[in-house]
Amino acid sequence: MTNPPFAVDLERNVAVPMRDGVTLRADVYRPQADGPFPVILTRTPYNKSALDGSPSPTYESLAAAGYLVVAQDVRGRYASDGEFTPLFAFGYPDIEDGYDTVEWCARLADSNGDVGIFGNSYGGFTSYCAAFSQAPSLRCVFAEGMTQRLTDFEPHFRPGRRFAWSMCTIAPDIRLKKGLPGTHTKDIADQLWERERHKWLWFLPRKDIPDDHFGGPVQAGYYRTLMTEGGVDTFQWQDRYQDVRVPVFHRTGWYDRFVRAIDGHTLMAQKAATPAARAGQRAMIGPWGHTSALHAYEGELDFGPAGLVEQTDLLLRWFDHWLKGHDTGIMDEGPIRLYILGDNAWRNEQEWPLARTQYTDYYLHSNGGAQTARGDGNLSPDQAGDESPDHYVYDPRDPVPSCHLMHDQDGVFDQRVLDARADVLVYQTEPLAAPLEVTGEPTLHLYAATSAVDTDFMAKLVDVHPDGFAQNLCYGVVRARYRNGYTAPQLLTPGQVYEFTIALNPIANVFQPGHRLRLDISSSDFPNWDRNLNSGSDGYSDGTMVSARQTVLHDSVRASRITLPVIPRD
């Protein structure tokens, strides 16, 4: 065999039979050389083939490096037969289909029988499913941009991303396959979304949205369940970690709403079936959003040249190690590789959360005037004393707007555009004299009351730069009726003070000297999160809205505070 890179041949829409008789289809990229070769598989609902018929540059590059590359449309999508069942619905078939496809790949002509799988976002989901399938020929997994529980990123409905995903990405192909009216291609659906998105995002009650906007009654049924059942984890992976018998690379970004993919590393490193599988877990979190384009900027901030990573090179380092036995150095970098924002540099770590974490409380302070960034809200390690509470009015007709990308993905955006809103409380430190590293998962303990029977409280951690740029870092939310868990929803007693615990997403950031650490508290972040109508309604069957007067308390008895995972600096 000659050395790569090889020229590549492409076979389109090769039939892949499943155990239940349904036929899925895959494109197979073959090196123009004598085999056998290991196989790299990816399974996607987003169309394995470019619309113009051109080969995928990523798949072609992997094949040119000496792999058979199989790109498959999942069940019910594009060239594959069957009914599509999305990941947020019970009964998804991706574990069984993953097993059958892996073993089909192992039997391909010129295959050496060893298979790896990769994918980002939904492809990360199907990659994890393959890991759980115990397919005998699977040797390794590279899963990107996918968390371990549906409730990690959708504890209650998130209309921005969910509607954009369903109406632009999923529904057009479903309509085309079923002969239903409406847009049949994603590019036309995207153009329509830009013109009509506000109509659907603000639509109440949502039960009256016609089925065809979701791709017909079957698909609409999945979304209607999602819109009415808060906190239901359809993944049900908690008992499957002991089935994992292969090394898994878990990659995500700090600005990916699926950043809790880091939990996949922790759980598999603890519970995978064999010592080798447990030792083979690796994780990487970079300065990225929900993307496989691993550039050094996300939104309005550049995180430096070290943040630029070529995805194909990263994939090949992983697969060359596990499928070809090459020493690529990828297993020498530490079990967890973190990009530390602020320092803008990579660092190897051994565990998550970091063992040397010093959990430190920063208390909320004000004289009752923390509304807007020009208020008197303060944040410090000093405990609260006799202080007046802060108040604001949350009106679901005028929610705090989300600062994110058009299709409702997270990114870095200057939060100063929201600074004048009276329905945002702002607490911030004085300019720091020394670097302060926060790496881990912050938690807000909030003492609050409301005039409503139900409401939301949002928390956002912000790094305020010396020039005023207010860099969003991470956020968290609590829906009050679910404060004691999703299995026992309970409305509030208006005016009663409750302690709410709000878990913020993981982050790794160094607040540099001269920067301020800031905490924003509000009751909305729309359309990133569904508006709480304050009436006890879910917004699906009833669109009744009421304004709520919110009270945040911070005194010696009710000490609202954020617990920060502080990392000592050498």
The residues annotated as belonging to the active site are: 121, 256, 290
d(CA 87, CA 166): 12
**Could you say which DSSP state residue 165 is in?**
I
φ, ψ at 128 (rounded to 5°): -60, -40
Residue 382: how many CB atoms within 10 A of its CB? 11
Strand partners, 362: 562
Residue whose structure tokens are 């039979």: 17
C-alpha separations of 373 from 282, 351, 420, 424 in Å: 40, 37, 7, 8
The reported pLDDT for the residue numbered 286 is 96
Q: What's the CA gap between 96 and 526, in Å, rounded?
A: 37
Can you tell me the distance from the alpha carbon of 493 to that of 449, in angstroms, rounded to the nearest whole number? 9
CA distance 78 to 122: 15
Mean pLDDT by 10 residues, the chain (570 residues): 84 98 98 96 94 85 98 98 96 98 98 98 98 98 96 89 93 95 93 92 95 94 90 94 98 95 97 98 96 82 94 97 97 96 97 98 98 97 95 98 84 96 98 98 98 98 98 97 92 98 98 98 96 92 96 97 95
Among the listed residues 51, 106, 97, 49, the one whose alpha carbon sits nearest the alpha carbon of residue 75: 97
Which pLDDT score, from 0 to 100, does residue 336 have? 98
CA proximity to 392, closest of 462, 459, 453, 448: 448
Asked if 84 contacts 174 with a C-beta cutoff of 8 angstroms, the reply is: yes
Closest CA to 11 of 74, 68, 67: 68
Query: Which tokens in the block code for residue 30?
Result: 């073959």
| Domain 8-152+234-283+310-329: CATH class, spelled out | alpha beta
| CA dihedral angle for residue 188, residue 191, residue 193, residue 194, rounded to 10 degrees | 180
Question: Quick one: pLDDT at residue 247?
Answer: 98
Q: Are strands 68-73 and 111-120 parallel, antiparallel or unpaired?
A: unpaired
What per-residue confidence (pLDDT) applies to 179? 94
Q: What is the 3-state secondary structure (H, E, C) of 95-150?
A: HHHHHHHHHHHHCCCCEEEEEEEEEECHHHHHHHHHHHHCCCCEEEEEEECCCCCH
The rounded distance, in Å, linking the Cα atoms of 255 and 507 is 9
Q: Name all contacts of 212-217 with Cβ < 8 Å and 24+ positions apart.
A: 212/175, 212/180, 212/181, 212/182, 213/166, 213/167, 213/171, 213/182, 214/166, 214/167, 214/170, 214/171, 215/166, 215/170, 215/171, 215/172, 215/174, 215/175, 215/178, 215/180, 216/174, 216/175, 216/178, 216/180
CA distance linking residue 195 with residue 542, whole number of Å? 26
Looking at residue 2, what is its pLDDT?
59
Q: Which residue has the tokens 């060893």?
A: 114
Token pair 């083939």: residue? 49
Preceding peptide of 5 cis, ω within 30° = yes
- Whether the Cβ atoms of residue 150 and residue 92 lie closer than 8 Å to each other: no
Phi, psi of 215 (to 5 degrees): 100, 25
Global pTM value:
0.96
The superfamily in CATH containing domain 358-567 is: Galactose-binding domain-like (2.60.120.260)
Parallel, antiparallel or unpaired: strands 282-286 and 336-340: parallel
| 134 vs 103: CA distance, rounded Å | 11
Q: How far apart are CA 543 and CA 555, in angstroms?
A: 36
d(CA 559, CA 216): 50
Question: What is residue 345's predicted lDDT score, i.e. its pLDDT?
Answer: 97
Domains of the chain, by residue range, sit at: 8-152+234-283+310-329, 157-228, 358-567
Rounded to 10 degrees, what is the CA torsion of 23, 77, 222, 149?
A: 90
